Chains A and B, each alone.
Chain A
Amino acid sequence: MNALEISHLHYRYHDGTEALRGVSFRVLPGECIALLGPNGSGKSTLLLHLNGLLPENPSGDGAVKIFGTPLAAANLAAIRRQVGLVFQDPDDQLFCPTVAEDVAFGPQQLGLGAPAEIAARVKKSLAQVGLAGFEARATHHLSHGEKRRACLAGVLACEPKLLVLDEPTSDLDPRGRREFKAMLRTLPATKLIATHDLELAVELCARTIILDHGEIIADGRTVELLADEKLMLAHGLERPHILHHLHPH
């Protein structure tokens, strides 16, 4: 069974612009896939479809299937247990006053156990992202890197099988980026990462999908696609320098 199956997904904004034009691809369990594309290509819009935030009224037509289940209004809660979406701006996602409350929000809403059990989940998730002991900290006092990690913890607390991240390393300093990437590597869930960080794509993701103007331009092995300079430049990207130093094993 595929972790994610998108078939001919279309989406139009309110003003008529086509954001997604017949996007189709599959993701196998355990894969780590990078979603690349210039600004305005429709990456964020696509990600919002993966847990039913878009379209406004999911019809259950099978355009989006999560672990075999077509996404429909009736099964949104179940889908959102399985798909953990980490948003681009951590301030949008960290809406509770303390870290513990925020990380506990997901499990509480999804009814995942008694308070003691939820507290244990919170502790485990915070440890996973390297924020052990941050339970009582106020969310608005965290540094940017800490906020990003707290967001991830909040999503991990629900133990999703599919992890979707929207530009997780933007605004992070080099150390923050290294630590975040190291952390992502340890997570066993299937991962789909929309990013501008081409190094992340090369280091973590075996497979890359390139999106431009709402369409999939290319879908294949990261090293091959990113080495194709012509392709990269044609779609608002570039060939990353890291590839110069990668020797095929």
Chain B
Amino acid sequence: MNRHWHNHAPSPTDSWVRRLPATWKLGVTLTLILVTVLAPPAGWLPWFVTMFLFLLVIIAASGISLWFLLQRLLLLLPFVLGVVVVNALAPTGRANWLAIALKSSLCLLTVMLTANTTPFSELVRALQTLRVPALLITTITLMHRYLFVLRDEAERMRRARASRTFTPGRRFQWQALSSVIGQLFVRASERAERIYDAMCARGWKSR
């Protein structure tokens, strides 16, 4: 997770892919992933080739950097290698590591394309249309809104702590970092109360 943070593509650039309705994109993504995962051993190679070509077209149309996509695909490597190694030592007879590698790469590419051509708030609205419960939608929305705020707060606290830490050694570091996280929770709780006040101040009626 930590390593992904800096690999997030910049805000979606405009393209016709970007302007497609989010519900549609989400639906297509889910369908493609479903078909890929369920592809029977007999038919998987032709399906993969077709899907790969289709994705290439979308990549070209959306203007997302191929290099960026490849970089993220590489992060799948440890999982695939794990399966390969383990299957060499204790074969199940059912796993085909090449199929797994290709399947997960294609699924990852599909999700990445959707995620990087759709603003997150539109994705959430699409989820709302798909009847995801309101409380979960509110929680997701608030999480996304305050993600960056809390991340920055955590970073500032960590830096401030580090500036005043002269004792080397893991024990003190663990204590200091845990205390930063603890403080972060306290601040998050207090902020949540202020947000509640701000919502009520503008007429929010608690159901």
A92 & B202 in contact (Cβ 8 Å cutoff): no
Taking CB atoms, residues of chain A closer than 8 Å to B200 are 53, 80
Query: Within 8 Å of chain B (Cβ to Cβ): is A155?
Result: yes
Q: A48-B197, A97-B141, A97-B144 are in contact. Are A91 and B203 (CB under 8 A)?
A: no
Contact of B120 with A97 in the complex, beta carbons under 8 Å: yes
Which residue of B is nearest A80, CB measured? B203
Q: Mark A169-204, 1 if CB is under 8 A from B, else 0.
A: 000000000000000000000000000000000000
CB atoms of A85 and B203 under 8 A apart? no
In the assembled complex, B8 has its CB within 8 A of some CB on chain A: no
A95 touches B142 (CB 8 A): yes
Partner of B201, one of A51, A101, A138: A51
Inside 8 A of A80's CB, which chain B residues have their CB?
200-203
Q: How far is the CA of A98 from the CA of B200 in the complex (A)?
A: 19
Are B194 and A77 within 8 A (Cβ)? no
Please tell me if B191 contacts chain A, counting CB pairs below 8 Å: yes
Given A92-B191, A97-B121, A97-B144, check contact A53 B149 (CB 8 Å): no
B205, A109: Cβ atoms closer than 8 Å = yes
Interface hub of B141, B148, B200, B203 (most chain A Cβ within 10 A): B203
What's the Cα separation between A158 and B201 when bound, in Å? Answer: 11
For A87, give its contact among B146, B194, B205 (CB under 8 Å).
B194
Q: Which residue of B lies closest to A54 (CB)?
A: B197
A230 interface residue (CB < 8 Å to B): no
Does B195 reach chain A (CB closer than 8 Å)? yes
Interface residue B159 (Cβ < 8 Å from any Cβ of A) = no
Number of A-B contacts (CB under 8 A): 66
CA distance A95 to B192 in the complex (A): 10
Do the beta carbons of B201 and A140 come within 8 Å of each other? no
The reply on A41 being an interface residue by CB < 8 A is: no
In this complex, how many residues of chain A approach chain B with their Cβ under 8 Å: the count is 28
Q: Indicate with 1 or 0, residue by residue over A55-71, a CB within 8 angstroms of chain B CB atoms.
A: 00000000000000000
Q: Is A42 on the interface with B (CB-CB < 8 A)?
A: no
For A106, the chain B residues whose CB sits under 8 A away are: 202-203
Contact B203 A92 (CB under 8 A): no
Q: How far is the CB of A39 from chain B (nearest CB, A)?
A: 17
A residues 98-157 touching B (CB-CB < 8 Å): 98, 101, 105-106, 109-110, 138-140, 154-155
The listed residue (B124, B145, B202) touching A140 by CB distance below 8 A is: B145
A51 partner residues in chain B, CB cutoff 8 A: 201
The answer to whether B145 and A95 have CB atoms under 8 Å apart is yes
In-complex Cβ contact of B202 among A89, A101, A109, A138 (8 A)? A109
B195 engages A140 (CB within 8 Å): no
| Contact status A95-B201, CB under 8 Å | no
Complex CA distance for A140 and B146, rounded to whole angstroms: 8
How close is A90's CB to chain B, nearest CB, in angstroms? 10
B 103-126 contacts with A by CB, 8 A: 119-121, 124
Over the window 14-56 of chain B, the binary record of Cβ atoms lying under 8 Å from chain A Cβ atoms (1 yes, 0 no) is: 0000000000000000000000000000000000000000000
List 7 A-B pairs, minimum CB-CB distance, nearest first.
Answer: A109-B203, A106-B202, A92-B194, A97-B121, A110-B203, A93-B198, A85-B201
Please name 10 pairs of A and B residues whose Cβ atoms are closer than 8 Å in the assembled complex, sorted by A.
A53-B200, A77-B203, A92-B194, A92-B197, A95-B142, A95-B145, A98-B121, A105-B204, A106-B203, A109-B202
